[in-house]
Amino acid sequence: MDWYLPITIIPGIGMIILSTTNLLLQLNNEISRLEEQKPFDRECSLIIKDKLHQLKTLSIALVFQYISIFFLLISGVSSLFSLKNVWRIYPLFTGVLMIMLAILLLIKYAFRAVMLRQNHLKIN
């Protein structure tokens, strides 16, 4: 394994981080708008609760993305040194596993966002 293999994955993860951060900011703004709405009823509080759950999912996905970049950097840097092959592959696999978990959380978020939107439109 060459040192540049894990490093070449990082820009793609950076784009996923940018996208996730934009989703997180939009969701945060949406929650703020809902909190400012008058009158504040039970229906609105249920929507806010669901959106807070989505916010938590996005935050966890973002953490997994950051961790994956960390391990991919460790893998790339450790490949420069004459370490045993095992010490170079574990960080690579851990980084890939973390980004896979983040992507699974983003898929969960996407499905849940559509479901919540459908429920919200049925109520109104």
Element (H, E) at 14: helix 4-36
- What number of residues does the chain have? 124
Tell me what pLDDT residue 102 has.
97
Residue 39's identity, in one-letter code, is P
Strands (E), the chain: none
> Residue 55: exposed, middle, or buried by beta-carbon count in 10 A (0-12, 13-18, 19+)?
middle
Name which residue leads in pLDDT, 82 or 60: 60
Tell me what pLDDT residue 84 has.
66
7-56 pLDDT, tens per residue? Answer: 889 999 999 999 999 999 999 999 998 888 767 777 788 888 999 999 99
Helices (H), 37-84: 42-80
How far lies 92's CA from each of 3, 74, 99, 115, in Å?
11, 8, 11, 35
Q: What is the pTM of this model?
A: 0.86
Percent of the chain predicted with pLDDT > 90: 53
- Which pLDDT band holds residue 106 (cuts at 50, 70, 90)? very high
State how far the Cα of 80 lies from the Cα of 93, in Å rounded to an integer. 17
